[in-house]
Structure 1
């Protein structure tokens, strides 16, 4: 029996997208390695996780207490998110580790991150047991690699790991020169969830016999959402559909009054993922600014128009470029609307007509859906082969 350590991102609040990412790990490793011991870890306080033990399928161990145990595992998997991105550590993770009493200060948090996520002081033999799947280094630029320590640790991890399969093409290109003739493209982890998984793990009781009839609307990643909200209403009118709020993740206090002003019953905290997915399945299409709502909608066969700024640099985990690249990677660029195009309210009617037209382009929708499924299947095959290789099977 092999010991498999799966390291997930710390989930600090209710987030349906991150829930589906982690559930995909549980579903995959439970199915693929039924006779092995699989343990899930996160670098953060397990007492501060967004979901309780009763609300998730996998139980997390606090990685800070088990760094050596992870290294002793036969297979070490880093699953999804920005685990190896320096910007994520600086903007989010380091602060959480200090806040929750795991590290006394930022310097100590940085040292822990280098040990736990980068395996900086581990042997080459330990790194050879590592598979990175579905993560991203999309935010990394020359400014990050000017940090000699980080550049060395990242290069060593990518070079020595048993398998590297980032979720997006840009991250894959950054890693590719260090992996020789090995593929470096995976998929977003949530795309590894099948409809059977949604049923088996209770995210849905059953799938509706007919597609939904509503237009799902959710805006939770933009600071100012008046124009996107107006666009959502306008697209619904163009389609002759009812616009419905899909409560995907928490809404910032500044967003709540605006959403309610436009007639959407937004709440501060989202419901459990099962309830959010139930709302999603009432939709025939979605208009949103939220990455994992797009991912899960398309994965369930529901086309999603995504809104994001085109003029942003790739600098933060919540930036819009990851959405733009996702859509380009899966042939979905025609379903992406730049936020700049609706900055002036007078442009919203034309953008709504365009979005409604695209959501009626059945042939193009099927091409995007097929591209997503083909790439996810290929990524799953690469993951399986890498895990078997590391385990000597």
Structure 2
């Protein structure tokens, strides 16, 4: 996710103000760059040989599902097989183990910091794969620091290695400085959102839907909520692939809003980071059903004491179909969005936790 990578770069730039730090961003699937205007904002090198890491003092796994077996079998290995053409599934899995667990090389594992990752959907069946269990135990038993973004993963890691090696981190995107990003990239990234915001009467409700097959239903429900609140509503195409320019437009629009309703995890993270009153739609299934991302929003909201703002998509669908309960659910969501005291309390707690996570990470990065 682009906001995750930009947050990491900003963190390193802050560290570099008083230190001489150099870094390289590696991608295990392709090399390339993300361009903004006439310059490269992010440059990635291809990591296909662990010898490329030998001369670095730290090796950071930054965010998401890097060490989850399901990520390998459902996403990384199939993409790698398509990219390389002649590779078998077994060869793909071997390559994943080699790159993501650093070949079990102790000299590399001791340099590792794992931050913002998650293993929340791990099952005993997956763990029963012998090579996977051993690789996880070696990684998290030897690494310099493990700071997963959710308490499920932190507790599991400590159970796995029989020691308190992991502490709770946060999602990497919480480190993004939105104002600095927007000011760095220039005024042109404010254009569309300024026109939209100034053309709407306030308060403004931003609705970003795109992770569910019930998109039209959730958008309709959000319109009813906005109408009940007397707010203007803007539908934000968060998932449109518009690079850094599109991300900045989205962040700028979120910053101008009073309320946000979304079913997209990173839109919710950005909204919470900006201190907005936020509702997230999502499944109530006890485990991931459609993708690795199914439960991320629910864990995020419950972990930061705003679980009541996580609204089941099934409830909305049922209310719209039955109609008789629709009004009461609209009132419930309006009440949640307008509960300023809860929003302020949750925002303060979240900021304290993010600041603490940042300090711990910086210590792991720079101290011997």
- The TM-score bracket by the shorter chain reads 0.7 to 0.9
Q: Secondary structure at the match of 1:272?
A: helix
- Structure 2 gaps of 5+ residues are none
1:345-384 pair list within 5 angstroms: 345=320, 346=323, 347-384=325-362
- Alignment partners' CA distance in 1, 2:350 and 2:90: 41
What pairs up with 1:323-338 in 2 under 5 angstroms?
A: 323-338=297-312
User: Could you say which residue in structure 2 is the equivalent of 1:175?
Assistant: 157
Gaps of 5+ in 1: 1-17, 251-267
1:153 correspondence with 2:135 = yes
Distance 2:164 2:292 in 1: 32
Match of 2:113 in 1: 131
Question: Is the contact between residue 203 and residue 273 of structure 1 (CA under 8 Å) also seen in structure 2?
Answer: no
TM-score (ref. length: structure 1): 0.82
What is the alpha-carbon distance in structure 1 between the residues aligned to residue 6 and residue 282 of structure 2?
27
For 2:363, the equivalent position in structure 1 comes to: 385
Contact 2:66-2:117 at 8 Å conserved across structures: yes
Task: Tell me, yes or no, if structure 1 residue 101 matches structure 2 residue 81.
Answer: no
Does the Cα contact within 8 Å between 1:43 and 1:63 map onto a contact in 2? yes
Q: Within 2, Cα distance between the matches of 1:55 and 1:378? A: 34
Q: Helix, strand or coil: the match of 2:287?
A: coil
Contact 1:168–1:186 (Cα < 8 Å) also in 2: yes
Q: Which structure ranks higher in relative contact order (CA pairs < 8 Å, sequence separation ≥ 6)?
A: 1
The residue that corresponds to 1:231 in the other structure is: 221
Q: Does 1:113 align with 2:96?
A: yes
> How far apart, in 2, do the equivalents of 1:45 and 1:328 lie?
35
Partner deviation per Cα, 1:112-136 (whole Å, 9 max, x = no partner):
21111111331x2211100000111
Distance 1:116 1:162 in 2: 18
Specify the alignment match of 1:41 in structure 2: 26
**Does 2:18 align with 1:29?**
no
Who is 1:163 aligned against?
145
CA distance in 1, matches of 2:183, 2:50: 32
CA drift of 1:336 comes to: 1.1
Contact 2:182 2:248 in 1 (8 A): no
Matched position secondary structure for 1:337? strand
CA contact (8 A) 1:87 1:316 kept: no
Aligned residues: 352
Structure richer in helix, relative to its length: 2
